[in-house]
Amino acid sequence: MKSLLSSRPVLLFLFLFNAAVAVAIGVGGHHILIHGHTMQGPQQVMACAGMGIVALGAGIGLLRRRASRAHTTRPRPGYHAG
């Protein structure tokens, strides 16, 4: 399960989807109807914050993966340090 959740496509989906939902809830949460109820006040803020935190975590996971790849690259063939 860990290898699935840390794969690049899953992290990218989590980042984009949760960021989009967080923005949608933050901007227009009081216009969104769910079973006849709208999101207002603390419910809107907490839903926006929760989705934003998940998006932030996925974004950090993507950046850490990129940084770890940059440090583990192999030198070009024929390259001699010295």
Read off the pTM: 0.70
CA 79 to chain centre: 37
Strand ranges for the chain from DSSP E: 33-34, 37-38
Rounding to the nearest 10 degrees, give the CA dihedral for residues 31, 32, 34, 35.
40
50-65 pLDDT per residue, tens: 999 999 999 999 998 7
20-40 pLDDT per residue, tens: 999 998 888 778 777 888 788
